[in-house]
Structure 1
Amino acid sequence: VGGAFWAGFVHENAQEELVLRPPGARPEEEFLATCIRCGLCVEACPYDTLELGTYGVDVPVGTPYFEPRKTPCYLCEDIPCAVACPTSALDLAQLKDESGELDVSRSRMGVAVVDYNNCIAAKGLRCDACVRACPYMGDAIFVDSRRNPRTGKHAMLVPVVDADYCTGCGLCEHACVTEEASILVLPREVALGRAGEHYELPAPDFTPEVPADEI
């Protein structure tokens, strides 16, 4: 069910609203009005993460985007893609801390959403690939102990994302071991906002947390 849900969700929304932009990108409408399609951010990326939209792809032609399952953002500390932007379509102000220094952890490219119906950890198997792939493990994503409803007594360890800390880099999605990723990075306005008006995201049917002495 979970895989079918996400396949349907992505299919129905496989247009511009699901595009993931580089660090510091302004809100989509403002970004499209500001980006001059120069490609300098793509050239500056040392990991070839960024691509430019072309004809036949559901991304405005000439604008930068990335696909985490293919190549995630590796969160360069000097954020060369944003620094290279000549128009502030990638806004450095969003990426600076209180002292004015660049802080890539302030990136909010999207937010990871776990498909618990497809995640093998939520089926009782031990897997923490997505958690270990996260550079902000323990904050942006962590493991939570839950009672296994299938056995009624064993604990299972499931990944939980904290949207307040998730950068949307996609390292978790890239690391997911299932054939179709069970954790997907979606634009924040979709994952946290507008999707809720039209879709009911699948939630795990977990019982209360397992007491420490029962694990």
Structure 2
Amino acid sequence: MRNKTESDRRKFILTMARGAGITALGGLVWSAYVDEVTASSLILRPPGAIKEEDFLKTCIKCGLCVEACPYDTLLLAKPGDNKPLGTPYFIPRDIPCYMCPDIPCVPVCPTGALDEASVTTDGKLDINIADMGLAVIDRETCIAFWGIQCDACYRACPILGEAITVEYNKNERTGKHAYLTPVVHADACTGCGLCEKACVTEKASIFVLPREVAMGKAGNYYIKGWDKSDESRMEEATEIKTETELSKEKAMDSLNSGMGDLY
């Protein structure tokens, strides 16, 4: 009888342990699913990352890029990070990308999720053409726009004088001093985040966002009339016609109909 009781107890403990293991595994899978579907659109990827939708299909979450980074910039998303589980990302305010000339994180990628060709110029790796994001300035909290001299972000920029420049504007409030304010140039900014790391305000007043989040989109219906090459975008445009009762009238008729109200 005693042996049977001990045997039943062992079976019970084993069953409970298995149940706990399955529950834990299920929780991990569920957490990964939740992270996937609720992932923030503000994730910053390593240099050479392909479009996010394709990146998530191509990245096998091997972590080789994270291991290759000499500055511990890259992290692998874990449960609760609100990012697709196991994918690499970085937080510039903590550790920015230090723009390694040999970009060690890219060549080790076995699947092309980090595309070496996108950071190559004339057959050589070129970190200066990387597109990790775009720095954005909050003018309300940037002390340079208050009139306090600060060029921390400008000095920290590895593409000095190109990605960030400083503008000189008269201080209308005092009439004596000049505002020295930073300007980010989207065509040169790589999104490395060194400016964000260097920002002296309590919460960074310059910060990096994914380019598609940071920038608007003019669409194919507006072109730069002075730029002939920009006209090519019109080829993809489709006609959109909006008509109202007022728009059916000719401009002169509309003006004439309102003339009586002026006298």
- Interval containing the TM-score (normalised by the shorter chain): 0.7 to 0.9
2:68–2:104 Cα contact (<8 Å) kept: yes
Of residues 68, 89, 101 in structure 2, which corresponds to 1:77?
A: 101
Displacement of 1:192 after TM fit? 0.8
* Structure 2 residue matching 1:130: 3-state secondary structure: helix
Provide the C-alpha distance between the structure 2 equivalents of 1:151 and 1:191, rounded to a whole number of angstroms: 33
**C-alpha separation between the residues in 2 aligned to 1:61 and 1:15?**
9
Counterparts in 2 of 1:146 and 1:15: CA distance versus 1, 3 Å = farther
**Aligned residues with identical type, % of pairs:** 62
Q: TM-score, normalised by structure 2?
A: 0.67
The amino acid across from 2:207 in the alignment is L
**Deviation of 1:127 (Å):** 0.4
1:88-141 Cα distance to aligned partner (Å, 9 max, x none): 1000010011x2111010100000001111000110000000000001110000
**Structure 1, unaligned runs of 5 or more:** 1-13, 197-215
Q: 2:66 aligns with which of 11, 28, 42?
A: 42
Separation in 2, partners of 1:59, 1:101: 32
Structure 1 distance, partners of 2:171, 2:82, is 40
The C-alpha deviation readout for 1:10-50, integer Å capped at 9, x for no partner, is: xxxx9421000000000100110100000000000000000
Matches for 1:124-163 after TM superposition, within 5 Å? 124-163=147-186
TM-score for the superposition, normalised by structure 1: 0.81
Q: What number of residue pairs does the alignment pair up?
A: 181
Cross-structure match for 2:229: none
**1:94 maps onto 2:118 in alignment:** yes
* Structure 2 CA distance for aligned equivalents of residues 168 and 100 of structure 1: 23
Counterpart check, 1:121 vs 2:120 = no
What is the CA deviation profile of residues 129-181 of structure 1, one whole-angstrom value per residue up to 9, with x for unaligned ones? 00000011100001101122432442110000001000000000000000000
SS at match of 1:159: strand
Q: Secondary structure at the match of 1:193?
A: coil
- The alignment yields a C-alpha RMSD, in angstroms, of 1.4
SS at 2:142 equivalent: coil
2:101 aligns to what SS in structure 1? Answer: coil
Asked whether 1:169 is paired with 2:169, we answer no
**CA–CA distance in 2 between the matches of 1:39 and 1:89?**
12
Structure possessing the higher radius of gyration over alpha carbons: 2
> 2:128 pairs with 71, 83, 105, which one?
105
Distance in 1, Cα, partners of 2:45 & 2:204: 20
Write the letter of the residue equivalent to 1:109: M
Q: Does 1:53 align with 2:77?
A: yes
AA in 1 matched with 2:78 = T
**Higher relative contact order, chain-length normalized (CA < 8 Å, sep 6+):** 1
* Structure 2 alignment gaps of length 5 or more: 1-37, 219-263
